[in-house]
Amino acid sequence: MNRSLRLGAILLLAFAVIGGAYTGYCYHRDRTPEAALHQIARAVLTEDRKLFAEYVDEDAVLTTMHADVSALLADNIAALHERHPSDWFFRHDTAFMYDYMATHRAEYIGTARAVLDFYFDEARVPITKAEGNARWGSDEMRAFAAHYAASLEPARIAGDRATVNILVRGDDSDYGRLLPEGALTMELVRQADGRWTLVRISTDTIRTNGFYAFIDAAERYWEFQGWD
């Protein structure tokens, strides 16, 4: 499996696990950051692209996620090599990783976008090899969404921007055990009509269930799939 789809899986896992928030959150006001995340979760679970687009700035989320993941990989490359010495991707230095991720930026974001396209259009038939990979990725996104639950902390609002911390937990299945627990932060912006839209999904190395937990999950996933 090529690296673009493997790294794209890290980006798309975040969307998949948001779906777990749908059954665990009840809201009473429709103009709150929490309500917006509830609607995104509903859109993921019901595969409603129109609803998804109302509450997600897809361009902003994918571009910022790529930038954030690039920086986390590059700035922590030594720790990642120590953590996973058999993964050739971590046998490089910071400068190489920044250059590599910049070179493949359009490819990786394009792959993530294609997976979303196939996810929200299950009847679409792939024609090219790249589309076949994207279709496979969308099916994996469904598999992940079925095995994760997410709990939301209260939103922290500053003017027209808000952040919401989310704790993701996997169930006792093959997919669920890949990521027992992961922490994400959602950033949202309030629109003129009062609706909140998601613009960034991030994590960090400070939280023990943050960036390294997702990398560890990705490494387990590679083994689970039999990739080298």
DSSP secondary structure letters along 106-134: HHHHHHHHHHHHHHT-TTPPP-SHHHHHH
pLDDT at residue 161 in the model: 98
The model carries a pTM of 0.89
pLDDT at residue 228 in the model: 59
Nearest to 175 by CA among 220, 133, 208: 220
CA 138 to CA 126: how far, in whole Å?
Answer: 12
pLDDT at residue 4 in the model: 52
Which helix (H) or strand (E) element contains residue 161?
Answer: strand 161-170
User: How many other C-beta atoms lie within 10 A of the C-beta of residue 64?
Assistant: 16
**Cα-based distances in Å from 218 to 62, 84, 87, 161, 212:** 18, 11, 11, 30, 10
CA 67 to CA 102: how far, in whole Å?
Answer: 9
pLDDT at residue 23 in the model: 47
pLDDT at residue 28 in the model: 44
pLDDT at residue 100 in the model: 94
Nearest to 119 by CA among 227, 197, 18: 18
CA 119 to CA 173: how far, in whole Å?
Answer: 22
pLDDT at residue 15 in the model: 67
pLDDT at residue 16 in the model: 66
Could you tell me the residue ranges of all domains in the chain? 3-225
CA 214 to CA 179: how far, in whole Å?
Answer: 7
Q: Can you give the pLDDT of all 228 residues of the chain as single tens digits?
A: 455 555 555 656 666 666 655 544 454 457 899 999 989 888 888 889 999 999 999 999 999 999 999 999 999 999 999 999 998 889 999 999 999 999 999 988 998 899 899 999 988 889 998 899 889 888 888 888 888 888 889 999 999 999 999 998 999 999 999 999 999 999 999 999 999 999 999 999 999 999 999 999 988 888 887 765
